[in-house]
A = this chain, B = another copy of it.
Amino acid sequence: MDPDALSKAFVEHYYTTFDTNRTGLANLYQESSMLTFEGQKIQGSQNIVNKLTSLPFQQCKHSITTVDCQPSGPAGGMLVFVSGNLQLAGEQHALKFSQMFHLMPTPQGSFYVYNDIFRLNYA
């Protein structure tokens, strides 16, 4: 699959899962996966999903503004760099965020998130 199409498909799947079934994100990470969320470092699928499901909001919607991708090296990985808006239920203004994913291939021909870094972009 063309890398740009693959990264867009991943991004759509990731944020739709985040916004509708946050625990479902567990399938996208493995034990070696790393998340840095607003400076806090977390490792492993279970710890990562615990962090994401315990964020202080129930409902949210991500809207993606830009998606850039590049191959990351001989291991077949893909870097995906996203910027967008995060609307929390009940809040008047959306938050702006940037996030980068490093996707690594699985033996079954899919991808999982090996590296994940999330930052809000304050005005």
A-to-B contact residues, CB < 8 Å: 34, 36, 39, 66, 68, 70-75, 77, 79, 81, 83, 96, 98, 100, 102, 104, 114-115, 117, 119, 121, 123
Contact pick for A96, options B71, B81, B121, CB 8 Å: B121
Number of copies: 2
A39: chain B residues at CB < 8 Å are 66, 68
A83 to B74, CA, bound (A): 28
A73 and B75 within 8 A (CB): yes
A73: chain B residues at CB < 8 Å are 72-73, 75, 77, 102, 104, 114
A70 and B123 within 8 A (CB): no
A34 to B68, CA, bound (A): 12
